[in-house]
Amino acid sequence: MSTAIEREILWTGIGGQGVQLAAKVLALAATREGREVMSLGTYGGTMRGGNTDATVVVADGPIQSAPMVSRAWAAIVVHPRFFEPVAPKLRAGGIVVVDEDLLEGTLPACAGARLPLAATRIAREAEAPKAAALVLLGAFAQATGLVGLDALEAGLEESLPSYRRQTLESNRRALQAGAAAVPGVSHPAWRKEAA
């Protein structure tokens, strides 16, 4: 009996940056590709300006982890302000994707390779200035192969409520620009790990 590979992705940022939307897009994309998915979003004391975190667990078989994980394979850091409690949860062999445009100094030490990306600038250049979280998601998907760009775009379309449909094309450009900013799969999600 083979054991499922689970990939836990922690998101952290500031409320209003699109962390919850991007996490939902990832969860829906993975579901579209036949993966098992669990997700959980949390907010600090305020919706905008306070901390916002999300956890998405994606697996190629039945999920054993609850969506509140103590160890994670990856992190997507939309804003580093609230990254400190996330850093110790990261396992070696994973990846941390971070918007380097918002870094002031350095990130706290953590396991995993770092993929800094000028996501805020890339979002502006893609004429999607409020979509840096989606730029990071596109880059993460490209670097890991966790999900494909087509599934992300479909997940995006499914995620947007009717009152935000006018942002669909700009958000799609943000996903595409993030994927284009990464040369290829550098941290494969579905590689079998040694026990």
Q: Which of 8, 21, 10, 19 is nearest to 156 (CA)?
A: 21
Domain membership flag for residue 157:
yes
Given a cut of 70, is residue 194 above it in pLDDT?
no
Given a cut of 60, is residue 179 above it in pLDDT?
yes
Give the pLDDT mean for 41-63: 83
Given a cut of 70, is residue 1 above it in pLDDT?
no
Structurally, the chain folds into a number of domains equal to 1
Q: Could you tell me if 110 and 130 are in contact, meaning their C-beta atoms sit under 8 angstroms apart?
A: no
Given a cut of 60, is residue 195 above it in pLDDT?
no
Domain membership flag for residue 186:
no
Domain containing residue 111: 6-180
Q: Between these two residues, 140 and 184, which has the higher pLDDT value? A: 140
Q: What is the pLDDT of residue 46?
A: 60
Give the pLDDT mean for 89-97: 92
pLDDT in tens, 145-165: 999 999 999 999 999 999 999
Q: What is the pLDDT of residue 42?
A: 84
Q: Could you tell me if 87 and 48 are in contact, meaning their C-beta atoms sit under 8 angstroms apart?
A: no
Give Cβ neighbours of residue 161 (< 8 Å, ≥ 6 apart).
Answer: none
CA 166 to chain centre: 23
Q: What is the pLDDT of residue 90?
A: 94
Q: What is the DSSP string of 134-185?
A: HHHHHHHHHHH-SS-HHHHHHHHHHHS-GGGGGGHHHHHHHHHHHHHTS-S-
What single DSSP character describes residue 82? G
Query: Which two three-digit tokens encode residue 11?
Result: 């998101």
Domain membership flag for residue 167:
yes
Which CATH number goes with the domain that contains 130?
Answer: 3.40.920.10
Length of the chain: 195
User: Mean pLDDT for the chain?
Assistant: 91
Domain membership flag for residue 118:
yes
Domain membership flag for residue 176:
yes
d(CA 101, CA 137): 16
Given a cut of 70, is residue 193 above it in pLDDT?
no
Q: Could you tell me if 103 and 132 are in contact, meaning their C-beta atoms sit under 8 angstroms apart?
A: no
- For residue 2, name the pLDDT band (cuts at 50, 70, 90): low
User: Which of 45-49, 55-59, 84-88, 153-157 has the least mean pLDDT?
Assistant: 45-49
- For residue 22, name the pLDDT band (cuts at 50, 70, 90): very high
- For residue 15, name the pLDDT band (cuts at 50, 70, 90): confident
Give Cβ neighbours of residue 12 (< 8 Å, ≥ 6 apart).
Answer: 19, 51, 52, 53, 75, 76, 77, 78, 79, 82, 83, 86
d(CA 98, CA 36): 25
